[in-house]
Amino acid sequence: MIQAIGLTSNPRQELPPAVDDVSFEARAGRVTALLGAEAAGKTTALRLMLELQQGRGITYFRGRPMHHIAHPSREVGVLLGDVPGHPARSVRGHLRMLCAAAGVSVLRADDVLEAVGLVSLRDQRLGTLSRGMDRRLGLACALLADPHTLVLDGPADGLSAREGAWLHGILRAHATQGGTVLFTTADPREAARTADRVVTLEAGRLVADQEAADFARTRLRPRVAVLSPHAARLAAILAKEARAGRRSIEVVQEDGNRLSVYGSNCADVGETAYRHGILVHQLADEIGDAGPSGADARPLNVSGALGQPVASASTEDDGRQASVETSVETPAEPPDKDSAEDETELLPAAPPPRTTQDSPSPLPPPITVRPGRSPLRPLRYELRRLTGVGTGYLTAAAVLATSALICVLLARSGHTPQPRLLAAWPHELPLPPAALGAGLLGALAFGDEFRHPALAADRGTVPRRLGLLVAKLLVAAATALLLGLLTVGADATLLHLVYGDELIRVPGDWLSLSASWAALVTGCAWAGVLAAGVFRSTTAGLAAVVAVPIIVVPLVQKAVEGPAVRSAAGLPGRLRDLALMQWPFGAERYVAGGVRMIAQPVGGALMLSLTALLCAYVLTTVRGRVR
């Protein structure tokens, strides 16, 4: 059960809030529709309920607000807009990544793929999916952790009548098994036909909360849908006869050759068309909308003298018919069979209205969720995220190629020390290619794909759990070390092939140099991770890595070596002396390498930046949880 109480968004400059004091309930075992036109506040209301947007009010999911639910994705399945994910990731890989995030078996991905009919497309990339397939994938993501509640924003938008009927069958099956379903829609007929209860929003305020039958009786209007190649002529004749007979009707010309006639019936419209020799391809009694929506609906002629005009009809008529359909033919203009069939194809017939005898659509089998938290769950998720797309492999290949080219050019000049030569780090560059590549891979850890609602439900649009942060740092460090090792190995191999063994002799202090190199690439990777997490941008993460040698290093040097009463001059030497003390198991050599890196200007600035970013990350996390 969902209980939304006093949902109010923050004011938008001089505009009123998008949602203002909205309260309603969505009960378990029932399907609830949140109805409203464009900009009515439906999406904002859902984001407030899920604590993805700041505002006032509170929402209880089975008696608990979102921030008190230990595993939100297991309680609430969410679909907001298109499925966010890397366009190069496969459908199956995306679901398996979310399985690791939700703590369920990867076999669950195959179950939901079969339930939503995407088994044959499991290896297709997200960027190539059609609108209908994207909607199916979004529903699969929402059902992945077998949640009790489904919250879906416009799940049938852009779908055909057949696909929409299938989707609502899935929602009905979920409610039949005792779950709670809340979805938004702008089509009042869809809400009346598929939901048990309809909550109506207008301009951000609640205007009605009704059972579906009451909503259809009090807020929807019957009409006659007409399809004719002479729609404009028929509309003018109908309006003229209405005025002559002093009858209150309304004729609305919609897109193409379609008319909506309010206040009449199929018999009267058909007789009028027959008398005037007008070909009609379709006549159908339908349930209209609750009022005007859109500038394309043009009321041509309104009532006669006996009545007041009623609201114009919506242009969003998808051809869903509420009763019988007939065709009217006139002798003056015989119908063209091919033309009639072509016109009728534009209006796909939908299934009949839902009844209690309809068999529910198949759902994926229930799963057993382990209540304990596995420390490896965030690590599995991060590994699947990193290896599921080719971005990391392409970045590593670009780094290796760039480093190889630079080291060959540096060796030819003959003025570069061997450590910098193997790292392909000329004095003119702020950082070597391997460090920049490690920083880029770290910054990608908090990309836009992490805005998926299955993860976003945890304290904001970027997941801020400590376990997930630790997993990202561990994977980023391992990736950076592997990239650094491959870079040095590839550079040494290339130098051996081109110039022989002279340039690749092992120096005596190779251990401390290796520790210094590992500290540099790991620090750049961590700086990218933390900066991207704080600023919620991959670009900001990479910018933070580049800013360390360009901006932070000069500032640190100026602060340390500038004129003052007490100066920090000689600090690197004292740090090295400290590292030379006796450590157990000969660890002083590794410590000496790390201290050597910190003692350098780039190393000191990098440590300072990492400390600042970590503090900022912790502060934003604490602030989000307090709020």
Q: Are 520 and 420 in contact (CB under 8 A)?
A: no
Residue 202 lies in a domain: yes
Q: How many CA atoms are closer than 13 Å to the CA of 361, on its beta-carbon side?
A: 20
In this prediction, residue 296 carries a pLDDT of 38
Q: What pLDDT sits at residue 321?
A: 35
Q: Give yes or no for residue 596 having a pLDDT over 60.
A: no
Residues 214 and 256 in one domain: no
Contact between 578 and 595 under an 8 Å Cβ cutoff? The reply is yes
Residue ranges of the alpha helices (H) in 276-354? 337-345
| Higher per-residue confidence, 201 vs 358 | 201
Looking at residues 340-352, what average pLDDT do you find?
Answer: 35
Examine the pLDDT at 181 and tell me if it is beyond 90.
yes
Between 327 and 48, whose confidence is greater?
48
One domain for residues 313 and 412: no
- On whether both 503 and 565 belong to a single domain, the answer is yes
Give me the residues paired with residue 31 across strands. 181
Same domain, 230 and 211: no
Residue-wise pLDDT tens digits, 492-544 = 999 888 888 877 777 777 877 888 888 889 888 888 888 887 877 778 888 88
Amino acid 294: pLDDT: 37
Q: How far is CA 10 from CA 17, 18, 50, in A?
A: 6, 8, 15
User: Does residue 416 lie in a domain region?
Assistant: yes
113 and 11, same domain (yes or no): yes
Domain assignment of residue 367, yes or no: no
Residues 196 and 232 in one domain: no
Answer yes or no: do 65 and 43 share one domain: yes
How many helices and strands (H and E) does the chain possess? 23, 15
Q: Say how far apart CA 238 and CA 251 lie, in whole Å.
A: 8
Can you name the residues that pair with 80 across neighbouring β-strands? Answer: 153
Residues 506, 508, 510, 511, CA torsion sign: positive
Q: Are the C-beta atoms of residues 242 and 249 closer than 8 Å to each other?
A: yes
pLDDT of residue 310: 33
The answer to the question of residue 25 being in a domain is yes
d(CA 425, CA 432): 5
In a domain, 353, yes or no: no
Q: Which of 179, 199, 218 is the last residue of a domain?
A: 218
Indicate the pTM of the whole model: 0.67
Domain of residue 129: give its range. Answer: 2-218
Task: Look at the block and give the residue holding tokens 């970013």.
Answer: 613
- The mean pLDDT value for 16-21 works out to 88
450 plus 547 within the same structural domain: yes
Q: How many residues does the chain have?
A: 627
Q: Is residue 439 part of a domain?
A: yes
Confidence grade of residue 484 (pLDDT, cut at 50, 70, 90):
very high
Give the residue from 321, 345, 369 where a domain finishes. 345
Give, in order, the Cα–Cα distances in Å from 539 to each of 65, 533, 535, 619. 34, 11, 9, 21
pLDDT tens for each residue of 300-313: 434 333 233 333 33
Mean pLDDT of 214-242: 86
What string of H, E and C letters represents the secondary structure of 66-96?
Answer: HHHCCCHHHHEEEEECCCCCCCCCEHHHHHH
What is the rounded distance in angstroms from the CA atom of residue 341 to the CA atom of residue 145?
45
Instruction: Provide the 8-state DSSP code for 17.
Output: P
Question: In percent, how much of the chain has pLDDT > 70?
Answer: 72
Which is more confidently placed, 457 or 135? 135
Q: What's the average model confidence in pLDDT over 67-76?
A: 83
Residues 80 and 22 in one domain: yes
Q: Tell me the pLDDT tens digit for each residue of 73-130.
A: 888 988 887 777 788 889 998 888 888 877 788 888 999 999 888 989 999 998 888 8
Lowest mean pLDDT among 201-215, 220-234, 370-384, 588-602: 588-602
Alpha carbon distance 427, 288 (integer Å): 73
Spatial distance between the Cα atoms of 605 and 555, rounded to a whole number of angstroms: 9
**Residue range 197-220: average pLDDT?**
88
CB crowding 473-509: b at 16 or more within 10 Å, else e: bebbbebbbebbeebbebbbebbeeeeeeebbeeeee
Any idea what the CATH number is for the domain that residue 141 is in?
A: 3.40.50.300
| 43 pLDDT higher than 60 | yes
Q: Amino acid identity, residue 538? A: T
State pLDDT tens for residues 412-427: 887 788 888 888 888 8
Please give the tally of structural domains in the chain.
3
pLDDT at residue 368 greater than cutoff 80:
no
Enumerate the β-bridge partners of residue 60: 3
In whole numbers, what is the pLDDT of the chain averaged over residues?
76
Judge contact between 57 and 5, C-beta under 8 A: yes
Q: Say what the pLDDT of residue 303 is.
A: 38
